[in-house]
Structure formats: structure tokens, C-alpha cells
């Protein structure tokens, strides 16, 4: 107490001081201004007065006349090489900082890396090799013809045309000099521009003029199916994209022009402009344009659009240029003289082997040190990437250099080990183990939450409710992500058995050795999930020996996976076209037709709510080893309400199979399936493709040519010659007449699928009485009425929604392969 009374307690206090007589404004230029040279003044923030500070680039006491001295310029501002403390390494540029005292180091153009390390900036090309053509940088493994052969890998030779201004960079070789390479990325992409395919109306009684477009890339390149889309612009225009030989694939789309058509913005939905995706692993294409109309509509078509044009382009380029593309339709000179070019993306890779193959043998391995190998996602081959913490060119031997931060932290780490005691080291090691353990636990929890999120997003909870309401938990198996990854060897490309506009199909072998087909769908809209689940509930209740069975699904992934029974002998289209080198006898063809008709009749008339198959074609009719039929792919099927005979939908289908009545009215009925089945019958009779641009105009559409041949009594000239035997004549005539009835342009005059099935079954019974028991079972099946549970709220006639099992592609027609 006495100590406190006599001495007290001392505590620190902060005081703000300032020159209190004036503010900065009042002190400016006055004799009593206490700030020295190279200073600036600020008003006090606590009471009146001001403070002095040294200017930027100076340091010292601002209250002395010469107290603020400049910083050492040899360190702070000079870019002169060789001066003391010059920080920039080799192959660098130095520039004075505009924001603060000092300078900045940067790698020279054509070099990448850390400019503050002695050899941190590495060239993208090999030493002594040209690394630019005009404004385009050329990194190894690319190089220019004319340089030493070590400057490039042979498959990446380029040609720099210096006769143009600026110089034009192209792929080396005949047929590649009419495009310009705009950019080369070591991430596996190459950007170049290319002329579009055009067709212009030059006036009355004059031929159309335009430019075709065919590209056949060298084997190292593929057109990017993720970045590019095929586009056609014009009126009543059919844009077609195929391989250069017109044999292996066709895709296309149709662009219509109602009167007073006007296209604005980036819309490309079939009115004046249409688009479609391109296949995976595509290295060649041929673009063609045709008028999709009769002569009566040509006059108004040419008034709206004198030209049509088609092209493949980067979708980002299309979106940024879409607003002006429609305006080109009447600029004949620009389009006919090939002045219109588009930008497209090409994927490149080292195509000779996969990562596993090349790393096992180390034969011609293209990746340098500190790199990782990644398999190409577009075609065979691999790409090289610098490991994490390194950057540069992974295709050069020492192209991937570590960054300064990593070097600094490594030095700091090893210094710490030398300083700390062994006890400290053990403690750090223990902490690292704990952190690693926590990291794996957190990562596992995040993965589980992600699976739960996908399961809920893909309608898993709704599906469980629906299955429990019908006691259907035994009808559908819910697979885990791990099960299907194991079944497909982590979705190995060697397990792919089919690709299409709706997704990719893998062959899988489950842990119980059951062979299945696993379908990975495209991305789905959230609004389609409920209908997707409802359709699964309905499909699992379909039980017919000639319909592919849906076994289960997996909803823990970003897009749902569907698991079907595996059918091993390919599809009907492949057998008709003899891709399997096996000729289908007439008995087999009649059996396949009968079984397919029975399956469709079951879907139309036996279940409580009819299902319209909607996309019947020979590629969707699968065959097992005994040529037993399995109707597959119900992705675009629709349910027909019991109180309706038709529903209105957006037109979808495959050219050659499309019901003309459905195409013109958008009214989908059971008779639309009958028409498509009629096309399949004609395929079985003739062995020809439903649509082929290799045939003459008269014979191009098989259905119309078939009807014309029957009217002119030329049927047996069209039927496949090996089928035309005396024994088969009567049955061929009966089936041909049945096909003709199915192909009637008026749906009301076509037979029902049940009538078709019974007629074909009767034909088989007449020829082979010993199959009577099997056929009687099939007919009994058609006479029984199966009850399907339809989930509550499943509105099958709603025209505002598209099929949620697969995404409808309006006017985007996939031709048979």
C-alpha cells in the first residue's frame, strides 16, 4: 500500500505528435515549414497540425534539410546487366517498374520459366531452331520444314509461307496450305482458320455457285469434339458432314426459314441456323449443302437467303460472331470468293502408343524430365505435362524447370532439419503423419458427400420412393460407383462398344462374372430428372423376351449410369451390311422381323399405358448368338395416355426412318412406329441402307424407291439377289406387300403393330409348323394385358418437356453408320 502511495504503477501510453502551428496548406512555402528536401506533407489525423514524410524512392529524416536520401540505384532501378545485385537470369528482358522503385524481370518471347533464376527461362523450341512464324510461336515438338530434322518430331512438321504478309503458318503437306494456324498450345490444342462451304443462288436459270470443303488431317491430329460444332446457315438448307470417302459416318442438320425469318443473337435452333455435335476421334470430313424443299418453296427461299453456308467452328468463336453470321446470307461476293473463314480447334497428341505402352518399353518416349504422361481424350496416343511445381516445355529434355518458391522452401526445410534437434524432427514427422491422416479422412468425407450430392441431384431419393411404392426394389439394382469402375477397368477405352448422340456404352464384367452393357449418358437438365426416374420405373416393369432388360443404375456420379443386359452379336444393321461377314438367310430375317414386330406390339397394346418406341431402326435391334432379337435404346420413347390416340412432340428421328405424317404435323401416334418398322422390313428385303447419298436422286430414299418399284413391277430387281429363290418367292411377296402397307403416307391406312406381328407369325407357322408352341406363347403374350405402375405426377403428354432419359436433339439427324 505504501509502495503504491509513494511510487505508484507506471504504464506505457502512446502519444500522437505533430507540427501543430499550421496545416499542410498553411505551411506550404512558408519559412517555418519544417519539412526538408525530397519530402511531402500530410495533415495530422489526431488534432490540428501536419507531419513530414520522405518521397517514394527516398529514405531518412524528413525534418532535416537533406535528411531524405535516394535509395541505392544500382539495386533499385538500374536494368544494366553486370551491375551489382542485378537479379535477372539468362534469356530475360528487364523493365523499370512504373508503380514502385526498382525493375521487373521477364522471360524473353518464346521462353518460359522463372526469370530470377540463372537458367530459369527455357526456350519452347530447341536451340538453333526457328521458334516463330509471323506472330505465332512454335514450341517443340512442332518445327518448320527447312530446319534441321532434330528441330521437330516428324508428325509435327509445319510450313511457314513468308511470301504473304504477315507470314502464314500451315501444316506441312499437300492439301493443308489453304488454312492458317493461329495458335499452338502445349496442352494439346491447335487453332486454325479455314474457309466455309458455301452455295449461292446467282439468278434465274443459273447454276448455284459455291465452294466445297474437304479436310483430311495427318494422323497426329483430331478435330476437337468438345470445342467444335457443325453449323449450317440458310433457308431450307440440309447441311451434311461426312468422312471424305462418304462411307463411315454422316451427320447433319436442317435449317428452315418460315416467311419473314429473322435470326438474332446466338440462337441456332433450326430456324435459319442449325447445329449438331461431331463424333469423337474424327480426323477427316467433307461438308456438303443441299436444298431441303420442293420447287414451290424455292422462290421465297431465295428471297430470304440467296446463300447457304456450312462450317465446323470453335463454339466460343461462333458465340462471339453469331450476331453477324446471319447477315452474310446475301453477301454473294464474299461467300463465293471464299473470303469467309471460321476458326476451329484441333486436338493433337503423340499418337503411336498409350502412356502404359510407351512407359513400359521406353521406346521413343516424347516426355522430358520432371513430367507426367496423360492419355489423349480424343483418339489414341498421349500428351506430356510438367509435374506440379515445374513449368516449361515438357517435350524438351530439360524443359520443365522448378520454380523459385519450391527451391526456396526446399532450402529452408533442409536448413531447419540441420538446426533442430532430433526430438524436434520426430515431432515434425509426427505432425506430418497426423496432418496426412486428417487429410485422407477429410478427403474421404468430401467424396462421400459428393456421392450423396450426385445421388440426390440425379433423383435417387425419388427413385427409392417409387420403387418402395410398387415393391420394385428387387426389379432394379442400385450399383455403386466402385462396382462399375471395377467392371469397366475405370472406364477403359478398350471396353467401349458404342458411341452416339445420347452417350457412350461400355462392356462391363461384374464381380459375379455377369457381362453387362453400361451406358454413360450425356449431361441432363435438372428439370428432366423427375421424368428420367419415372421412365426408369416404367421400363423395369417391361418383361418381354425380345426387349433388352434394364438391370439397374448408378446415381452417385455426375451423370447417371444405366446397366442393361449384354447382347453379344452386334446389331441388325451391321449384319445386313455384312460387317460381320455373315450372310443373313431369309429364315433368319423373317424370324428377326417377327420377333421385332411382337416386341413392338407388346409395347403398343399389351401394357396398360402404351409406349411409342419412336426411334425404331436397324441399329437399335440387337442380336444374340442365335439371332434372337433384342429391341434396345428406349432413350427417346414416349408414353401414350390411355385417353389419347396421339401426343404432340418436337420432331425427332433418323433420316430415312422418319414418318412423313409425323414430320409435317408433329403428332406422334402408334402408327409412326409402324412406318419405321416398314423401313426395317425394306432393309431386310433389299440389304440396302435407308438413306444413301451415294445413290442417285431417285434411289436416295429407300422407302420411296421401294414403293415406286412395286408400282412398276420391278420389286425383284430391288430385293437382295441371294434371297430370290423359288422357295422364298411367295413369302417375299407377302412381306413386301406388308412393308408397302406399313409405309403408307397416311397413318390411318397403316395396319397396327399387333396386326403386323400376327401376320408375320402366321407366315412362319405356315412354313414351320414345329415352331407352333413358341409362336402360340408369343400370341398369348399379345392377348394378355400387363399392368404397369405409372408414378404419380408423370404427365406423358406435356409438350413443354423433352424426354428425360436422353436429351432430344431437334433437327439434328444421325445417319446410320
Concerning whether 174 is annotated as a catalytic residue, the answer is no
Distance in angstroms (rounded) separating the CA atoms of residues 360 and 373: 12
Residue 608 DSSP symbol: S
Handedness of CA 165, 166, 167, 168 (dihedral sign): negative
Query: What grid cell was written down for 500?
Result: 452416339
**Which residues make Cβ contacts (< 8 Å) with residue 814, sequence separation at least 6?**
250, 251, 500, 501, 654
Q: Which of 345, 353, 320 is nearest to 185 (CA)?
A: 345
Distance in angstroms (rounded) separating the CA atoms of residues 237 and 196: 15
Distance in angstroms (rounded) separating the CA atoms of residues 41 and 440: 56
Asked if the peptide bond before residue 141 counts as cis, ω within 30 degrees of 0, the response is: yes
To which residue does cell 505551411 refer? 27
SS3 391: strand
Distance in angstroms (rounded) separating the CA atoms of residues 46 and 331: 72
Distance in angstroms (rounded) separating the CA atoms of residues 750 and 438: 69
Q: Cα separations (Å) of 485 from 280, 310, 440, 506, 561?
A: 22, 40, 21, 11, 11
SS3 691: strand
Handedness of CA 72, 77, 81, 87 (dihedral sign): positive
Residue 350 DSSP symbol: B
Listed in order, strand segments (DSSP E) in 633-734 are 638-639, 647-648, 667-668
Q: Cα separations (Å) of 548 from 510, 551, 552?
A: 18, 9, 12
Distance in angstroms (rounded) separating the CA atoms of residues 601 and 607: 10
Of the residues 615, 633, 659, 673, only one is catalytic, namely 615
Asked if the peptide bond before residue 166 counts as cis, ω within 30 degrees of 0, the response is: yes
Name residue 185's beta-bridge partners. Answer: 189
Q: Which of 520, 536, 548, 570 is nearest to 639 (CA)?
A: 536
To which residue does cell 466455309 refer? 196
Q: Which residues of 157-185 are buried (b: 16+ CB within 10 A; e: fewer)?
A: bbbbeeeeeeebbbbbeeebeebbbeebe
SS3 434: helix
Q: How do the residues of the chain divide into helix, strand and coil, expressed in percent and rounded to 5?
A: 30, 25, 45
Q: Which residues of 239-266 are buried (b: 16+ CB within 10 A; e: fewer)?
A: bbbbbeeeeebbbbbbbbbeeebebeee
SS3 523: coil
The angle, 0 to 180 degrees and rounded to 10, between the axes of the packed helices 670-686 and 702-711 is 70
Q: Which of 486, 519, 492 is nearest to 504 (CA)?
A: 519
Distance in angstroms (rounded) separating the CA atoms of residues 616 and 637: 10
Give the 3-state secondary structure of 747-758. Answer: HHHCCCHHHHHH
Distance in angstroms (rounded) separating the CA atoms of residues 562 and 37: 80
Q: Which of 613, 653, 652, 658 is nearest to 633 (CA)?
A: 613
Distance in angstroms (rounded) separating the CA atoms of residues 802 and 647: 12
Distance in angstroms (rounded) separating the CA atoms of residues 566 and 616: 19
Contact 600, 753 (CB under 8 A): yes
**Active site residue ranges:** 615
Amino acid at each position: 500500500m505504501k509502495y503504491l502511495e509513494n511510487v505508484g504503477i507506471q504504464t506505457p501510453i502512446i502519444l500522437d505528435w505533430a507540427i501543430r502551428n499550421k496545416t499542410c496548406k498553411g505551411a506550404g512555402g512558408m519559412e517555418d515549414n519544417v519539412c526538408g528536401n525530397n519530402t511531402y506533407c500530410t495533415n495530422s489525423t489526431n488534432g490540428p497540425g501536419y507531419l513530414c514524410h520522405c518521397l517514394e524512392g527516398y529514405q531518412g529524416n524528413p525534418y532535416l534539410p537533406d535528411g531524405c536520401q535516394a535509395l541505392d540505384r544500382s539495386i533499385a532501378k538500374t536494368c544494366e546487366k553486370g551491375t551489382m545485385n542485378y537479379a535477372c537470369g539468362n534469356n530475360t528482358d528487364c523493365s523499370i517498374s512504373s508503380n514502385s522503385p526498382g525493375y521487373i524481370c521477364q522471360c524473353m518471347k518464346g521462353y518460359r520459366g522463372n526469370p530470377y533464376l540463372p537458367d530459369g527461362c527455357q526456350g519452347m523450341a530447341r536451340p538453333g531452331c526457328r521458334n516463330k512464324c509471323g506472330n505465332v510461336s512454335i514450341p517443340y515438338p512442332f518445327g518448320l520444314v527447312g530446319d534441321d530434322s532434330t528441330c521437330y518430331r516428324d508428325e509435327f512438321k509445319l510450313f511457314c509461307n513468308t511470301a504473304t504478309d504477315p507470314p502464314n503458318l500451315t501444316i506441312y503437306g499437300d492439301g493443308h496450305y489453304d488454312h492458317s494456324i493461329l495458335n499452338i498450345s502445349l496442352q494439346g490444342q491447335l487453332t486454325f482458320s479455314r474457309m466455309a462451304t458455301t452455295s449461292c443462288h446467282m439468278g434465274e436459270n443459273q447454276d448455284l455457285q459455291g465452294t466445297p470443303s474437304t479436310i483430311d488431317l495427318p494422323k497426329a491430329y483430331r478435330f476437337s469434339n468438345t470445342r467444335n460444332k457443325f453449323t449450317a446457315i440458310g433457308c431450307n438448307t440440309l447441311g451434311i458432314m461426312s468422312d471424305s470417302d462418304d462411307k463411315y459416318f454422316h451427320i447433319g442438320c436442317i435449317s428452315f426459314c418460315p416467311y419473314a425469318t429473322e435470326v438474332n443473337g446466338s440462337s441456332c435452333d433450326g430456324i435459319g441456323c442449325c447445329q449438331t455435335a461431331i463424333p469423337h476421334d474424327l480426323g477427316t470430313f467433307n461438308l456438303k449443302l443441299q436444298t431441303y424443299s420442293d420447287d414451290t418453296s424455292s422462290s421465297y427461299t431465295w428471297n430470304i437467303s440467296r446463300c447457304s453456308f456450312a462450317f465446323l467452328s470453335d463454339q466460343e468463336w461462333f458465340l462471339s460472331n453469331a450476331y453477324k453470321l446471319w447477315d452474310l446470307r446475301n453477301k454473294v461476293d464474299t461467300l463465293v470468293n471464299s473470303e469467309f473463314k471460321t476458326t476451329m480447334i484441333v486436338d493433337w497428341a503423340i499418337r503411336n502408343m498409350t502412356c502404359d505402352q510407351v512407359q513400359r518399353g521406353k521406346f521413343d518416349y516424347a516426355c522430358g524430365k520432371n513430367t507426367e504422361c496423360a492419355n489423349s481424350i480424343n483418339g489414341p496416343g498421349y500428351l506430356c505435362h510438367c509435374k506440379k511445381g515445374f513449368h516449361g516445355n515438357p517435350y524438351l529434355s530439360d524443359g520443365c524447370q522448378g520454380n523459385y518458391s519450391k527451391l526456396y522452401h526446399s532450402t529452408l526445410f533442409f536448413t531447419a532439419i540441420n538446426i533442430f534437434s532430433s526430438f524436434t524432427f520426430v515431432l515434425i514427422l509426427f505432425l506430418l503423419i497426423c496432418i496426412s491422416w486428417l487429410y485422407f479422412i477429410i478427403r474421404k468425407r468430401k467424396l462421400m458427400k459428393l456421392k450423396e450430392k450426385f445421388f440426390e441431384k440425379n433423383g435417387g431419393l425419388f427413385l427409392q420412393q417409387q420403387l418402395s411404392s410398387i415393391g420394385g426394389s428387387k426389379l432394379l439394382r442400385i450399383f455403386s460407383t466402385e462396382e462399375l469402375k471395377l467392371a469397366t477397368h475405370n472406364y477403359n477405352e478398350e471396353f467401349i462398344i458404342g458411341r452416339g448422340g445420347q452417350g457412350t456404352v461400355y462392356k462391363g464384367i461384374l464381380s459375379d462374372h455377369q457381362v453387362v452393357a453400361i451406358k454413360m449418358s450425356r449431361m441432363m437438365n435438372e428439370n428432366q430428372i423427375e421424368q428420367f426416374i419415372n421412365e426408369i420405373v416404367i421400363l423395369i416393369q417391361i418383361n418381354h423376351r425380345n426387349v433388352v432388360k434394364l438391370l439397374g443404375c448408378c446415381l452417385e456420379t455426375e451423370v447417371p449410369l444405366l446397366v442393361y443386359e449384354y447382347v453379344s452379336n452386334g446389331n441388325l444393321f451391321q449384319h445386313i451390311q455384312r460387317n460381320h461377314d455373315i450372310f443373313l438367310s431369309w429364315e433368319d430375317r423373317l424370324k428377326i422381323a417377327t420377333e421385332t414386330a411382337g416386341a413392338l406390339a407388346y409395347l403398343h397394346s399389351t401394357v396398360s399405358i402404351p409406349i411409342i418406341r419412336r426411334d425404331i431402326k436397324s441399329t437399335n435391334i440387337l442380336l444374340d448368338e442365335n439371332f434372337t432379337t433384342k429391341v434396345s435404346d428406349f432413350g427417346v420413347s414416349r408414353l401414350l395416355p390411355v385417353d389419347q390416340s396421339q401426343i404432340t412432340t418436337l420432331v425427332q428421328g433418323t433420316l430415312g426412318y422418319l414418318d412423313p405424317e409425323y414430320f409435317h404435323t408433329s403428332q406422334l401416334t402408334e402408327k409412326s412406329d409402324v412406318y419405321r418398322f416398314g423401313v426395317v422390313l425394306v432393309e431386310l428385303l433389299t440389304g440396302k441402307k435407308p438413306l444413301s447419298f451415294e445413290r442417285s436422286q431417285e434411289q436416295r430414299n429407300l422407302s420411296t424407291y421401294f414403293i415406286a418399284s412395286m408400282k412398276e413391277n420391278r420389286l425383284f430387281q430391288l430385293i437382295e439377289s441371294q434371297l430370290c429363290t423359288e422357295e422364298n418367292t411367295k413369302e417375299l411377296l407377302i412381306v413386301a406387300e406388308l412393308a408397302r402397307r406399313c409405309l403408307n403416307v397416311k397413318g390411318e391406312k397403316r395396319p397396327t403393330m399387333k396386326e403386323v406381328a400376327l401376320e408375320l407369325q402366321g407366315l412362319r407357322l405356315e412354313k414351320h409348323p414345329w415352331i407352333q408352341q413358341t409362336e402360340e406363347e408369343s400370341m398369348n403374350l399379345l392377348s394378355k394385358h400387363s399392368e404397369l405402375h405409372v408414378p404419380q405426377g408423370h404427365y406423358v403428354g406435356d409438350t413443354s418437356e423433352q424426354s428425360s432419359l436422353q436429351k432430344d436433339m431437334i433437327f439434328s439427324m444421325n445417319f446410320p453408320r
